[in-house]
Structure 1
Amino acid sequence: MGIADNPRSDPKHYESYRPYGLTKQVPSPRKEGDLITLTFFNPDGTSFQLTNAYLAPESYEWAFREAGFSSFQWVPVRARPNPDKEAAAFWQRFVEMEPLLLVEARSDG
Protein backbone atom coordinates (compact mmCIF):
# COMPACT_ATOMS: atom_id res chain seq x y z
CA MET A 1 0.00 0.00 0.00
CA GLY A 2 1.19 3.51 -0.74
CA ILE A 3 -0.04 7.07 -0.97
CA ALA A 4 -0.52 8.98 -4.21
CA ASP A 5 -1.69 12.31 -5.48
CA ASN A 6 -5.36 11.83 -6.35
CA PRO A 7 -5.61 12.06 -10.15
CA ARG A 8 -9.37 12.61 -9.81
CA SER A 9 -9.12 15.49 -7.33
CA ASP A 10 -10.88 18.65 -8.42
CA PRO A 11 -8.40 21.42 -9.32
CA LYS A 12 -10.80 24.00 -7.87
CA HIS A 13 -9.69 22.76 -4.42
CA TYR A 14 -5.94 23.06 -4.99
CA GLU A 15 -5.56 26.44 -3.25
CA SER A 16 -8.00 25.34 -0.51
CA TYR A 17 -5.37 22.89 0.77
CA ARG A 18 -3.33 25.86 2.11
CA PRO A 19 -4.62 25.60 5.72
CA TYR A 20 -3.28 22.02 5.67
CA GLY A 21 0.20 23.15 4.63
CA LEU A 22 -0.09 22.30 0.94
CA THR A 23 -1.05 23.83 -2.41
CA LYS A 24 -0.94 22.37 -5.90
CA GLN A 25 -0.57 24.11 -9.22
CA VAL A 26 -1.25 22.40 -12.55
CA PRO A 27 -2.32 23.61 -16.00
CA SER A 28 -6.05 23.57 -16.63
CA PRO A 29 -7.40 21.43 -18.08
CA ARG A 30 -5.00 18.74 -16.88
CA LYS A 31 -3.61 16.31 -19.40
CA GLU A 32 -1.33 13.30 -19.18
CA GLY A 33 2.23 14.32 -18.36
CA ASP A 34 1.44 17.87 -17.16
CA LEU A 35 3.69 18.91 -14.32
CA ILE A 36 2.09 19.45 -10.92
CA THR A 37 3.90 21.73 -8.50
CA LEU A 38 3.23 20.85 -4.88
CA THR A 39 4.22 23.51 -2.37
CA PHE A 40 4.52 22.43 1.26
CA PHE A 41 4.43 25.09 3.98
CA ASN A 42 6.26 24.59 7.27
CA PRO A 43 5.06 26.06 10.58
CA ASP A 44 8.15 28.33 10.67
CA GLY A 45 7.05 30.07 7.46
CA THR A 46 9.48 28.31 5.13
CA SER A 47 8.29 26.21 2.25
CA PHE A 48 9.58 23.74 -0.29
CA GLN A 49 8.32 22.43 -3.61
CA LEU A 50 8.13 19.07 -5.30
CA THR A 51 7.22 18.45 -8.90
CA ASN A 52 5.08 15.52 -9.91
CA ALA A 53 3.61 14.51 -13.25
CA TYR A 54 -0.13 14.19 -13.73
CA LEU A 55 -1.10 10.67 -14.72
CA ALA A 56 -4.64 9.62 -15.49
CA PRO A 57 -6.11 6.94 -13.21
CA GLU A 58 -5.97 4.48 -16.10
CA SER A 59 -2.22 5.05 -16.44
CA TYR A 60 -1.64 4.07 -12.81
CA GLU A 61 -3.76 0.97 -13.26
CA TRP A 62 -1.92 0.01 -16.47
CA ALA A 63 1.51 0.51 -14.84
CA PHE A 64 0.66 -1.70 -11.88
CA ARG A 65 -0.67 -4.45 -14.18
CA GLU A 66 2.47 -4.22 -16.32
CA ALA A 67 4.60 -4.51 -13.17
CA GLY A 68 2.89 -7.83 -12.43
CA PHE A 69 0.32 -6.88 -9.82
CA SER A 70 -2.88 -8.90 -10.09
CA SER A 71 -5.11 -6.42 -8.32
CA PHE A 72 -5.12 -2.66 -7.94
CA GLN A 73 -7.49 -0.33 -6.17
CA TRP A 74 -7.78 3.25 -5.01
CA VAL A 75 -8.57 3.54 -1.29
CA PRO A 76 -9.98 6.82 0.05
CA VAL A 77 -8.13 8.47 2.90
CA ARG A 78 -10.14 8.78 6.13
CA ALA A 79 -9.75 11.13 9.07
CA ARG A 80 -8.97 9.55 12.40
CA PRO A 81 -11.81 10.03 14.92
CA ASN A 82 -11.09 13.05 17.10
CA PRO A 83 -13.02 14.02 20.24
CA ASP A 84 -12.24 17.68 19.51
CA LYS A 85 -15.17 18.59 17.25
CA GLU A 86 -13.40 21.60 15.75
CA ALA A 87 -10.31 19.56 14.84
CA ALA A 88 -12.49 16.74 13.51
CA ALA A 89 -14.40 19.15 11.24
CA PHE A 90 -11.13 20.74 10.07
CA TRP A 91 -9.63 17.40 8.99
CA GLN A 92 -12.92 16.08 7.60
CA ARG A 93 -12.94 19.01 5.14
CA PHE A 94 -9.45 17.99 3.96
CA VAL A 95 -10.58 14.39 3.46
CA GLU A 96 -13.67 15.53 1.53
CA MET A 97 -11.50 17.48 -0.94
CA GLU A 98 -9.64 14.20 -1.65
CA PRO A 99 -6.15 15.52 -2.41
CA LEU A 100 -4.60 12.12 -1.71
CA LEU A 101 -5.53 8.48 -2.13
CA LEU A 102 -4.05 5.26 -0.92
CA VAL A 103 -3.01 2.80 -3.61
CA GLU A 104 -3.35 -0.88 -2.83
CA ALA A 105 -1.83 -3.40 -5.22
CA ARG A 106 -1.41 -7.11 -4.71
CA SER A 107 0.43 -9.86 -6.47
CA ASP A 108 -0.73 -13.47 -6.54
CA GLY A 109 2.88 -14.66 -6.30
Structure 2
Amino acid sequence: MLFAIRRACGKFYIGLVPNPSLIDNAKKMKKYGMDICFHKDIKDGDDSFSIIFDFDEPSSFTVTNFWYSLETYENIFRKAAFRTFEWVKQHINPQATEEQKIFFADYNQIGMSFIAGI
Protein backbone atom coordinates (compact mmCIF):
# COMPACT_ATOMS: atom_id res chain seq x y z
CA MET A 1 0.00 0.00 0.00
CA LEU A 2 2.82 2.43 0.80
CA PHE A 3 4.30 1.95 -2.68
CA ALA A 4 0.95 3.09 -4.15
CA ILE A 5 0.81 6.04 -1.74
CA ARG A 6 4.36 6.98 -2.70
CA ARG A 7 3.50 6.97 -6.41
CA ALA A 8 0.42 9.16 -5.80
CA CYS A 9 2.18 11.71 -3.58
CA GLY A 10 3.86 14.91 -4.58
CA LYS A 11 6.90 15.60 -2.44
CA PHE A 12 5.58 14.65 0.99
CA TYR A 13 3.12 12.39 2.77
CA ILE A 14 1.79 13.59 6.12
CA GLY A 15 0.05 11.25 8.53
CA LEU A 16 -1.30 10.83 12.03
CA VAL A 17 -1.12 7.53 13.89
CA PRO A 18 -2.45 6.54 17.32
CA ASN A 19 -0.08 6.11 20.22
CA PRO A 20 -1.29 3.49 22.74
CA SER A 21 1.24 4.69 25.30
CA LEU A 22 -1.11 7.66 25.67
CA ILE A 23 -4.17 5.55 26.52
CA ASP A 24 -5.00 7.68 29.56
CA ASN A 25 -5.44 10.71 27.31
CA ALA A 26 -7.80 8.73 25.03
CA LYS A 27 -10.46 8.92 27.75
CA LYS A 28 -10.74 12.66 27.07
CA MET A 29 -12.28 11.94 23.66
CA LYS A 30 -15.46 10.49 25.21
CA LYS A 31 -16.84 14.00 25.65
CA TYR A 32 -16.75 14.24 21.83
CA GLY A 33 -18.62 10.95 21.37
CA MET A 34 -15.47 8.96 20.56
CA ASP A 35 -14.56 5.84 22.52
CA ILE A 36 -11.00 4.83 21.68
CA CYS A 37 -10.37 1.21 22.56
CA PHE A 38 -6.99 -0.47 22.92
CA HIS A 39 -4.91 -1.95 25.70
CA LYS A 40 -1.49 -0.91 26.95
CA ASP A 41 0.11 -4.22 25.92
CA ILE A 42 -0.85 -3.90 22.25
CA LYS A 43 1.68 -5.48 19.86
CA ASP A 44 2.60 -4.83 16.22
CA GLY A 45 -0.13 -6.04 13.91
CA ASP A 46 -2.83 -6.29 16.60
CA ASP A 47 -6.24 -5.48 15.19
CA SER A 48 -7.65 -4.71 18.61
CA PHE A 49 -7.39 -0.95 18.12
CA SER A 50 -10.75 0.65 17.38
CA ILE A 51 -12.66 3.91 17.62
CA ILE A 52 -16.38 3.92 18.28
CA PHE A 53 -17.90 7.14 16.94
CA ASP A 54 -21.10 8.45 18.57
CA PHE A 55 -20.60 5.63 21.09
CA ASP A 56 -23.57 6.63 23.20
CA GLU A 57 -25.98 7.12 20.27
CA PRO A 58 -28.08 4.71 18.16
CA SER A 59 -26.10 5.95 15.13
CA SER A 60 -22.78 4.69 16.56
CA PHE A 61 -20.30 2.91 14.33
CA THR A 62 -16.90 1.35 14.89
CA VAL A 63 -13.72 1.67 12.87
CA THR A 64 -11.20 -1.07 13.63
CA ASN A 65 -7.60 -0.80 12.57
CA PHE A 66 -4.24 -2.48 12.99
CA TRP A 67 -1.71 -0.90 15.29
CA TYR A 68 2.01 -0.72 14.59
CA SER A 69 4.84 0.57 16.75
CA LEU A 70 6.57 3.82 15.91
CA GLU A 71 9.67 1.84 14.88
CA THR A 72 7.62 -0.28 12.50
CA TYR A 73 6.24 2.83 10.79
CA GLU A 74 9.78 4.15 10.31
CA ASN A 75 10.94 0.83 8.84
CA ILE A 76 8.04 0.28 6.45
CA PHE A 77 8.33 3.79 5.03
CA ARG A 78 12.04 3.19 4.38
CA LYS A 79 11.22 -0.13 2.69
CA ALA A 80 8.68 1.66 0.47
CA ALA A 81 11.53 3.92 -0.75
CA PHE A 82 10.55 7.13 1.04
CA ARG A 83 13.73 9.18 1.38
CA THR A 84 12.92 10.67 4.77
CA PHE A 85 10.67 9.95 7.70
CA GLU A 86 10.34 12.27 10.67
CA TRP A 87 8.03 12.43 13.68
CA VAL A 88 6.74 15.97 14.02
CA LYS A 89 4.91 17.94 16.68
CA GLN A 90 1.28 18.66 15.87
CA HIS A 91 0.10 22.25 15.76
CA ILE A 92 -3.39 23.69 15.93
CA ASN A 93 -4.40 26.10 13.20
CA PRO A 94 -4.57 29.56 14.83
CA GLN A 95 -7.62 30.33 12.67
CA ALA A 96 -9.60 27.46 14.20
CA THR A 97 -12.62 28.31 16.33
CA GLU A 98 -12.23 28.07 20.10
CA GLU A 99 -14.32 24.87 20.06
CA GLN A 100 -12.04 23.35 17.40
CA LYS A 101 -8.94 24.37 19.33
CA ILE A 102 -10.22 22.62 22.46
CA PHE A 103 -11.06 19.46 20.47
CA PHE A 104 -7.68 19.33 18.72
CA ALA A 105 -5.80 20.06 21.94
CA ASP A 106 -7.38 16.89 23.37
CA TYR A 107 -7.05 14.88 20.12
CA ASN A 108 -3.38 15.79 19.66
CA GLN A 109 -2.58 14.14 22.99
CA ILE A 110 -3.40 10.67 21.64
CA GLY A 111 -1.65 10.76 18.30
CA MET A 112 1.76 11.03 16.73
CA SER A 113 2.28 12.95 13.48
CA PHE A 114 4.84 12.23 10.82
CA ILE A 115 6.01 13.56 7.51
CA ALA A 116 7.65 11.31 4.93
CA GLY A 117 9.58 12.66 1.95
CA ILE A 118 9.64 11.18 -1.53
Instruction: Tell me if 1:104 matches 2:112.
Output: no
In angstroms, what is the RMSD of aligned CA positions?
Answer: 2.7
Is 1:55 aligned to 2:68, yes or no? yes
CA distance in 2, matches of 1:32, 1:100: 16
Query: Which amino acid is 2:111 matched to?
Result: L
What's the CA shift for 1:19?
Answer: 2.1
User: Per-residue displacement from partner, 1:75-95 (whole Å, max 9, x unpaired)?
Assistant: 23222225866x376236415
The residue aligned with 1:28 is 40
Aligned length: 104
Structure 1 unaligned regions, length at least 5 = none
1:94 and 2:106 are equivalent in the alignment: yes
Point out the structure with the larger strand share.
1
The C-alpha deviation readout for 1:60-88, integer Å capped at 9, x for no partner, is: 00000000011001223222225866x37
1:88–1:39 distance in 2 versus 1, CA, 3 Å: closer
Question: Under a length normalisation based on structure 2, what TM-score does the superposition of the two structures give?
Answer: 0.68
Residue identity opposite 2:113 in structure 1: L
Overall identity of the aligned pairs, in %: 22
TM-score calculated relative to the size of structure 1? 0.73
| 1:6 maps to which of 15, 18, 34 | 18
Looking at structure 1, the residues matched to 70 and 96 of structure 2 have their Cα atoms a distance apart, in angstroms, of: 35
Q: Distance in 1 between matches of 2:41 and 2:95?
A: 36
CA distance in 2, matches of 1:17, 1:65: 32
Q: After the TM superposition, list the runs of 4 or more consecutive aligned residues in structure 1 that deviate by more than 3 angstroms.
A: 82-85
Q: Is the 8 A contact 2:16 2:114 kept in 1?
A: yes
**2:34 and 2:54 in contact (8 A); partners too:** yes
